[in-house]
Structure 1
Amino acid sequence: MSSTALPERSNRKPRFHYGWIIVLLTFATLLVSAGIRSLPSVLLVPFQDEFGWSRGSISGVISIGIFLYGLVGPFSAAMLLKFGTRKVVASALSILAVSLAVTPLITSLWQFELLWGIVSGLATGMMANVLGVTVSNLWFVKRKGLVVGLLTASAATGQLLFLPAMAKVSADYGWRTAVYAAVAGIALVLIAVAIWMRNHPYDVNAAPYGTDEIVKPAAFTGNLFLAPLQSLRLASKSLAFWLLAGTFFFCGFSTNGLIGTHLIAACGDHGMLEVAAAGLLAMMGLFDLFGTTISGWLSDRFDNRWLLFWYYGLRGLSLLFLPYALDTTPAMLVVFSVFYGLDWIATVPPTAKLAGQTFGQEKSGMIFGWIVVAHQIGASTAAYGAGVMRDWFGTYSQAFVLAGFVCFIASLMALRIRRAAAGKVAAAA
């Protein structure tokens, strides 16, 4: 976002940069959002048992939510610039809380589709990875890769905190109690955002971290709905965009759409209790917290294309190992959880960094939002497709193996991204 330099309003520098408080609030927001988006994996089997809906039908609703979660991203980036982080996040959290509070009253599949496929998908999409990228661009000049890594890791931490707790509450007290507990978590974060969130460093008389120049943000002048579409038109002329979007499609296909949605159910097919299976996802979240944070640090220092090559390749190997792990001992599932967890969403920091290098910081938020759309289309495809394949074959093994091989394709695609085009594309922007 372009800015107009103004004289410093104070010569006094704070000892602690307020940007880190914004990072903490954004971390908590993304943590809760990710936890809510992962909640359907806990509810899949209880809904099947109580309402008699097929696993494919429930997966279809989850698929719609995942798709809308991604689709709203580019428009969320524009709204964050126009209305400010505080208003947008507070509004999204409020809508999400209302949606969840009504969920225990549902009796029909269409109601589940409305609340979780549409409303929840749109609300959580306003707090997707685009929020983390926007915050890092506005508040930081240095340490951007590290900040994006930390905020991306919040999705993993959301699973770490939410899934075992929600699975335990659901098993002991019923899924409705678990949903109400999630509403309470949203309310706490909403209060914190309303009190402490700020839109820009200028609001607290500070310069972005890594610089001494206090600047006033320029007003958002583009059309709220046309600006993201114009950014997509610009990006679509670049091969780098299609390679980034293509690799991110396979990223979503092999992570939250497949493992995040179906691992608990797949473990249940092999006799593992729901709480124990949720613990495996939580373990992945713990290791991804380290893996994605380290990935952000690495993205500031190494060629991001080669980072993506290794991330996708290693993820593919772990997914090919998963059917074997399910058929053997729980110890093998622990090995899978550790290995896969380190790589869960480590691809986000280098992808965001490449988008920023290629399209410039002003456009990168909305363009990265479109790259996330590709991610969520992949996730949506896997969420629905794996459920249908489970209904057809009685097992998830084919879906896991397919995802492993597409990761190898993504690994090779990453090496074709040419940074040499960055200057030309950024100049066109």
Structure 2
Amino acid sequence: MKGGLFNIYKMEEKSIKADKISKNKEENIEKSSSNTQDFRSLDKGWSWVIMLTSFGTLCLIGANVYGVGIMHDVLLERYNESVSLTSWAGSIHTALTNLAAPLSSFVADRFSCRTAVMLSGILFAVGYLGTAFAPNVQTAIFTLGIVAGSGAGLGTTASMLVIGYNFKRKRNIALGFVCSGMGAGLFALASLMHLAREYYGSTGFFIVQAAMSLNIVVFGATYFPSKLEKHAQEMRIFNNVDALPNGNTNLRFIEVYKQYFKALNNKPIFLLSFGMFFYCVGTHLIYLHLPVYIVHKGFSKTQASYMVSLKGIFAVIGRLLTGFVASLHKSVDIWLYSGSFLVLSVATIVYPHISNTLAGNIGYAVVLGLFFGSCYVLITSVNLSFVDIKHVSAALAFEFFVGGIGSLLGPEFAGLLIDSGGTYEQAMTFAGGCLFIAAFSSILTKCFHVDSKTGENKIIWKFTRRKEMRET
């Protein structure tokens, strides 16, 4: 009996010592994580190489994702199926750019951003090669939509995350440059995509797309993990594994998801996710159906491809300017973020009334290029206002996932509307309304701030907080 009590006492003593060591280790980790300027590799050295290769990665992904309208037109001619059925291939492709964000976040957290991007290039190549030889539109929906779309999701999210792990003071400038790659790729490659289609037919077109996408693997190979990325992974491993010394796999699995729910269980992240849903409903509806709409208004397919290219070059300018302006003062991030939604909303509602003229189409292409995608330059910084570095991948993954649902529903709604007797003009007006809701939802996050005094980064309703401060 005494021996049993003695053993219990010794086990409790060891447990107390282990808890103290664990607590001290956690305090050291958290202390260092709040001081990312201690990581001397940030903002210099190999970080700039990663910025350049991330730009190249998003060039290719941008051409693939935002050139989906050209692919949609190819599939319509190839299979001669209904607009709504054929739209599934393109809408799933663009939707998975966001829907696959949790998968990208998981791969990046579990392995590295490098692994996620290299896998992205492989999936793109396999998906496009499968589409080149797809016997029917149903097969193309799987190969182009699901396989290639998963590649888009893996590469996009990881290429943004890797910038957050390599930059701090110049993060907005770096993200502005990297995100402009999506517009640059669209500008540079949209016309080439059109030429590949004209010279090589639908089969050769997708083979060329597969070959170009393999360059993503080369770019991804340069994403060597920075000290901050390794440190964030160490924090997650410590929280998820060391906190469970009994080695229970099920409990560890639960702990992993607890870490993600910590990032999601706050109102600003919910509002940003809600806004991202309506933003993606509107913008992906536009990008899928705009080339066909321009042709429907009496312009040629070549002119339509030039309009897509025009959006691309102005997207480069818009994202670079957004990153530069945001770097001047951190407090403007959310205003630029939601303001881009509002400008797109007004322009899209007006567009059907001026789409009969060449000047009207050019004007809309310029506005769409300047403001579409500006939110992606700022989304990491906006999220870091409400979550810490170890949870930012979870927050981004959730927002992109919710946005992906919108990306899937928007184009399909337009396809069903047109097949049932509706018009493209009505679809565009609907897209503008969705963008307005996105702007309103995002700006509501200004009503909240983080109360760091509690040590738990608690989200507080700002106006109530100010009232309490005046009363005291």
Does TM, normalized by the shorter one, top 0.5?
yes
What pairs up with 1:183-222 in 2 under 5 angstroms? 183-194=210-221, 196-200=222-226, 202=227, 218=234, 220-221=236-237, 222=240
Q: Which residue of 1 aligns with 2:364?
A: 336
Structure 1 position 351 matched with structure 2 position 379: yes
Query: Which of 389, 406, 409 does residue 434 from structure 2 map onto?
Result: 406
What pairs up with 1:267-306 in 2 under 5 angstroms? 267-300=294-327, 301=329, 302-306=331-335
What pairs up with 1:133-144 in 2 under 5 angstroms? 133-144=160-171
Query: Which of 326, 336, 345 does residue 316 from structure 1 map onto?
Result: 345
**1:356: Cα distance to partner?**
1.1
**1:229: Cα distance to partner?**
4.3
Q: CA, structure 1 residues 193+352, in 2 after alignment: closer, same or farther (shift >3 Å)?
A: closer
1:89–1:126: 8 Å Cα contact kept in structure 2? yes
What SS does the aligned partner of 1:358 have? coil
Measure, in 1, the Cα distance between the counterparts of 2:42 and 2:364. Answer: 45
Q: Which residue of 2 aligns with 1:92?
A: 120
Measure, in 1, the Cα distance between the counterparts of 2:353 and 2:292. Answer: 16
Query: Which of 428, 447, 450 does residue 421 from structure 1 map onto?
Result: 450
**1:265: Cα distance to partner?**
0.7
Structure 1 position 30 matched with structure 2 position 58: yes
Measure, in 1, the Cα distance between the counterparts of 2:110 and 2:100. Answer: 15
What SS does the aligned partner of 1:421 have? strand
What pairs up with 1:95-174 in 2 under 5 angstroms? 95-128=123-156, 130-174=157-201
Q: Which residue of 2 aligns with 1:245?
A: 273
Q: CA, structure 1 residues 13+64, in 2 after alignment: closer, same or farther (shift >3 Å)?
A: closer
Q: Which residue of 1 aligns with 2:421?
A: 393
Measure, in 2, the Cα distance between the counterparts of 1:197 and 1:77. Answer: 15
Measure, in 1, the Cα distance between the counterparts of 2:63 and 2:307. Answer: 15
Unaligned runs of 5+ in 1: 6-11, 209-213
Measure, in 1, the Cα distance between the counterparts of 2:55 and 2:372. Answer: 17
**1:419: Cα distance to partner?**
4.2
1:62–1:116: 8 Å Cα contact kept in structure 2? yes
Q: Which residue of 1 aligns with 2:14?
A: none
**1:426: Cα distance to partner?**
6.1
1:285–1:341: 8 Å Cα contact kept in structure 2? yes
Measure, in 2, the Cα distance between the counterparts of 1:386 and 1:428. Answer: 41
**1:65: Cα distance to partner?**
2.7
2:92–2:149: 8 Å Cα contact kept in structure 1? yes
**1:275: Cα distance to partner?**
2.2
Letter of the 1:230 counterpart: K
2:276–2:400: 8 Å Cα contact kept in structure 1? yes
**1:242: Cα distance to partner?**
1.5
Q: CA, structure 1 residues 96+287, in 2 after alignment: closer, same or farther (shift >3 Å)?
A: same
Measure, in 2, the Cα distance between the counterparts of 1:306 and 1:13. Answer: 30
**1:166: Cα distance to partner?**
0.4
**1:425: Cα distance to partner?**
9.6
Structure 1 position 262 matched with structure 2 position 289: yes
Q: CA, structure 1 residues 335+106, in 2 after alignment: closer, same or farther (shift >3 Å)?
A: same
What SS does the aligned partner of 1:326 have? coil
* Deviations, residues 59-83 of structure 1 (Å, cap 9, x unaligned): 1232223333322212312311321
**1:231: Cα distance to partner?**
4.8
2:181–2:316: 8 Å Cα contact kept in structure 1? yes
Q: CA, structure 1 residues 38+331, in 2 after alignment: closer, same or farther (shift >3 Å)?
A: same
Letter of the 2:91 counterpart: S
**1:144: Cα distance to partner?**
1.0
Measure, in 1, the Cα distance between the counterparts of 2:30 and 2:126. Answer: 37
Letter of the 1:45 counterpart: D
1:292–1:342: 8 Å Cα contact kept in structure 2? yes
Measure, in 1, the Cα distance between the counterparts of 2:185 and 2:192. Answer: 11
Q: CA, structure 1 residues 55+216, in 2 after alignment: closer, same or farther (shift >3 Å)?
A: closer
Q: CA, structure 1 residues 311+229, in 2 after alignment: closer, same or farther (shift >3 Å)?
A: same
What SS does the aligned partner of 2:271 have? helix
* Deviations, residues 337-373 of structure 1 (Å, cap 9, x unaligned): 1122110111223332221110111101221111111
Q: CA, structure 1 residues 229+325, in 2 after alignment: closer, same or farther (shift >3 Å)?
A: farther
Measure, in 1, the Cα distance between the counterparts of 2:334 and 2:417. Answer: 33
* Deviations, residues 108-153 of structure 1 (Å, cap 9, x unaligned): 222112102211121211012x223311221112111122222222
Letter of the 1:168 counterpart: L
Q: CA, structure 1 residues 101+115, in 2 after alignment: closer, same or farther (shift >3 Å)?
A: same
Measure, in 1, the Cα distance between the counterparts of 2:191 and 2:389. Answer: 38
Q: CA, structure 1 residues 185+381, in 2 after alignment: closer, same or farther (shift >3 Å)?
A: same
1:251–1:407: 8 Å Cα contact kept in structure 2? yes
1:156–1:288: 8 Å Cα contact kept in structure 2? yes
1:3–1:215: 8 Å Cα contact kept in structure 2? no
Shifted more, 266-275 versus 42-51: the winner is: 42-51
Q: RMSD across aligned C-alpha pairs, in angstroms?
A: 3.0
Q: CA, structure 1 residues 64+193, in 2 after alignment: closer, same or farther (shift >3 Å)?
A: closer
Measure, in 1, the Cα distance between the counterparts of 2:189 and 2:451. Answer: 40
**1:21: Cα distance to partner?**
0.6
> Between Structure 1 and Structure 2, how many residues are aligned?
409
Q: CA, structure 1 residues 164+325, in 2 after alignment: closer, same or farther (shift >3 Å)?
A: farther
